[in-house]
Amino acid sequence: MTHPSQPNLQTALAHELRHELAITRRVLERAPTEQFGWRPHAKSMTLGTLAGHMANLISFLEISLQGSSFDVVTGKRADSPTTTADVLARFDLNAENLHKALADVSDEAFHEIWSLTHGDKTLLSIPRTAVVRTMVLNHLIHHRGQLSVYLRLLDIPVPAIYGNSADEGPRG
């Protein structure tokens, strides 16, 4: 039970997700299709793979709300978008689906355990709150940082994220 002056988890997480997704979309908008094959190092993802991964990974919250587990062997996986327009369309669709799925979640459901499996092997079992925080938000923010470095190395203006960048002031 939440204290009357405190928002429930759904409200708090929805607000945070909305904020972080808006920032992430601004970074993804700067990823040029013609550079999708570029990578800063042989061990790094290509820019296109990274942008596509970011667009797809936000679907993990919705996936976690559809059942008690997800099997990476048998579960449906999204293909990787191949253009900036495709990345943004996928990101927007997944963000919309995430917010729809989030709208009806109770605090109790957020505390239930969800598992990621590989066949009959459990890779991790965590509360859905950790799915939101670790698999969606932290993971997305990590890759957003990587993508902003890719942009800098390609001399593409980096948008303001949590304050000014060298190229842009904060958005109001």
Write the CA distances from 159 to 18, 38, 41, 153, 172, integer angstroms.
17, 20, 23, 14, 13
pLDDT of residue 172: 47
Write the pLDDT tens digit of every residue in 83-129.
999 999 999 999 999 888 888 888 888 889 999 999 999 999 999 88
Residues 2-53: pLDDT tens digits?
555 556 878 888 889 999 999 999 999 999 999 999 999 999 999 999 999 9
Instruction: Give the predicted TM-score (pTM) of the model.
Output: 0.89
Domain 9-153 has CATH 1.20.120.450: yes
Please report the pLDDT score of residue 5 as a whole number. Answer: 59
Q: Rounded to the nearest 10 degrees, how much is the dihedral formed by the CA atoms of 128, 135, 95, 30? A: 160
Q: Which residues pair with 127 in a beta bridge?
A: 113
Cβ–Cβ under 8 Å, residues 35 and 169? no
End-to-end C-alpha distance for the chain, whole angstroms: 35
Task: Determine the pLDDT at residue 10.
Answer: 80
